[in-house]
Amino acid sequence: MSSAPESIPAQLGAADRTATLRDLIRADDLSRCLESLLRLPHGPVGVALFDREGCVYAGATVPDSAMSRWEQLPPEAHAALRTSTAASFGIDDHAYDVRVMYAGTDRVGALVVGRTALAEAGIDPHAATDVAASMVGQLLAAGFATWVTSEMHLAASQSTHRALTHRNAELERAVEHLRELDELKSNFLGTVSHELRTPLTSVIGFSEMLIEGIGGELNAEQTEYVQTILNRGEELLALISQVLEMSQLEVGAVRLDLRALPLEKIVERAVEALQLSAEQASVSVETELGVLPPVLVDAEKLQRVVQNLVGNAIKFSPAGTTVRVTAALAPIRKPFDEETLFGEEADDAIRITVRDTGIGIPTEQLSRVFEAFYQVDASPTREHGGAGLGLSIVKNLVRAHGGDVWAESEVGVGTSIHFTVPIAVAEIA
Amino acid sequence: MVFIDIQHREVTLKLVYYGPALSGKTTNLQQLHRLFGAQTGSNLVTLNTRDDRTLFFDLLPLRFATAGGLEIKLKLFTVPGQVIHAATRRIVLQGADGVAFIADSRITETRSNNESFADLRRNLADNDIDWKEIAVVIQFNKRDLEGIRSDTEVQRIAAKGSEPVYSAVALDGRGVAETFRGLADTTWMKLEKRYGLREKFGVTHEEFMRQLDARLGPLSPADPSGTGDGA
């Protein structure tokens, strides 16, 4: 036989909680209101308001009467006042009226009004009590409305806060989990790439030996086959190197060897390294750098950035066109594309731009080109190869230098990729 | 939008101090509270987070009566400058009659100023407040720090826009009253043009400013050298 569920004390909702009289009326409002009553001719000679704790307000016009000693009433009198209903009684030559005060549906206190017992002709003896009760009632009604509203707001904020805290904790756990997974993925990619490179080195090395005739003379057809193996092997090696580099960047394993260096030499080296592919694609590369202060960079990494960008530009440029590399002093952050009333930012960096006259990138895809593995043309029939890692590596390397990178493009006209690197301040000073 | 109670002859203006995080909006209000405090008896309502930065908003209520018996209430708000409090900024801006944009004068803060100014324009538009209808003044705060825009540059920036521009060091009160005075002045003129307050209540722009000046006391000298500081 199943037992009945245990009763759990119900948590009172904000709207159902009971306020104390002191929560609802400010002491100064109360005295202002009741003191004015005591000043009335033929008005009450003493007024007091009690709540569960005791006397909240006491005032009297007759010194040395029971009414000037409300606070000193014995505890049983206070208890009686707490539980009493509306009543009237007399002590000595004074008459007393008691009125129960409510806030909402709850009894919050008792108002006691004292008057002289002598009834005056034409004056309702209870009129002053009713006026006092009505005034305190008004104060209570206003106070109760404010109190309930604030309680509800407070409860709503607390409940939202609890929900948010709970959700945040969940999200933090999820983020932590994802971070671990991401690190695992990067480590896995790193290990696999490394393991793939080792056998590939043999494939490339032995192909080269075969072509050079070390294992005996090859006929033309055999040479062509081996050359294809060598070319594809080198492409695969380049791809694996990119994946390895990307995974290292993602786990933050890349250290920069920052030095103040002239930009020209780095760009020159990058362009030289791409001379062959530029010739093969019949695309020329022009650099216009001008006279610039040295930059604070890791030469090898910056060369990699320029090489990736220029390599990409060559890949997407039609034969017979030119890829241009330019540089200028600029603020380190991407330009603010709204009103700049407060002036331009200081030129604390060098902005390098690689511009091609290729197919261009649609605007809606511009911001995504720096994501890893993102392909503008992801169709299976796409014309240009690659893993979609080049620009992601560029972004990570530029950001590691404290710079910014962004793209501008017009479909059919061409694409410009801009990035910034900091000026070596100490060097110029 | 300005709240006009014709029956009780009351006009309530809402003025908002806007700007990037840590530019000195709350400091401006604290200084004004110090200036007005004794006369208005108003309390500065402020809700700070642990690190002394504004979480919701600050509110400084001021009230005074003009010669024509019109009761003027000014409600001065600040918004939290941090980027994440965008929703609060939008809500506080609802129904604003005037905005004082508190910019950080340091050159390194140019981007934050520009971004916050663009944010102000967007939030006003979201609240259906026309940029041309609302009074906006700009304060270049922190003029005592290193690496700031020069006075010439500030003048050049001032010449670019149509908003009145003031220089300030809010921490020691310099320029705070001037900015507030300018804001109240511009706001009243815009409202006068739109609602004809003079015709409705018989209160002139001069009378409004006279009452305000009587409560602000003498303004600090324009020359930041500090002469006549009352020392």
- The CA distance from A344 to the nearest CA of chain B, in Å, is 7
- Contact, B80 vs B56, CB < 8 A? yes
Identify all chain B residues contacting A336, using CB atoms and an 8 Å cutoff: 111, 114-115, 118
User: pLDDT per residue over B99-155, tens digit each?
Assistant: 999 999 999 999 999 999 999 999 999 889 999 899 999 999 999 999 999 999 999
pLDDT for B122: 93
pLDDT for A172: 94
pLDDT for A409: 92
Strands B45-48 and A405-410: unpaired
Say how far apart CA A112 and CA A133 lie, in whole Å: 9
Identify all chain B residues contacting A345, using CB atoms and an 8 Å cutoff: 107, 110-111
pTM: 0.61
User: pLDDT per residue over B56-74, tens digit each?
Assistant: 566 777 778 887 788 888 8
At A50, is the secondary structure helix, strand, or coil? strand
Q: Do A345 and B118 touch (CB under 8 A)?
A: no
Which tokens hold the place of A290? 């001008």
> Is the four-CA dihedral A360, A365, A369, A370 of positive or negative sign?
positive
Is A345 an interface residue toward B (CB < 8 Å)? yes
- The CA distance from A377 to the nearest CA of chain B, in Å, is 34
pLDDT for A7: 37
Q: Ranked by mean pLDDT, which of A70-79, A144-153, A274-283, B195-204 comes out on top?
A: A274-283
The secondary element (H helix, E strand) that includes residue A151 is helix A127-211
pLDDT for A82: 65
User: pLDDT per residue over B200-217, tens digit each?
Assistant: 888 889 999 998 888 887
Among candidates A331, A333, A343 on the partner chain, residue whose Cβ is nearest the Cβ of B149: A343
More confident residue, A332 or B51: A332
Name the residue among A421, A418, A422 with its Cα closest to residue A309: A418
At B65, is the secondary structure helix, strand, or coil? strand
Give every CB contact of residue B145 below 8 A, 6+ residues apart in sequence: B105, B106
pLDDT for A12: 52
Q: Do B160 and A341 touch (CB under 8 A)?
A: yes
pLDDT at residue A118 greater than cutoff 80:
no
User: pLDDT per residue over A354-366, tens digit each?
Assistant: 999 988 888 888 8
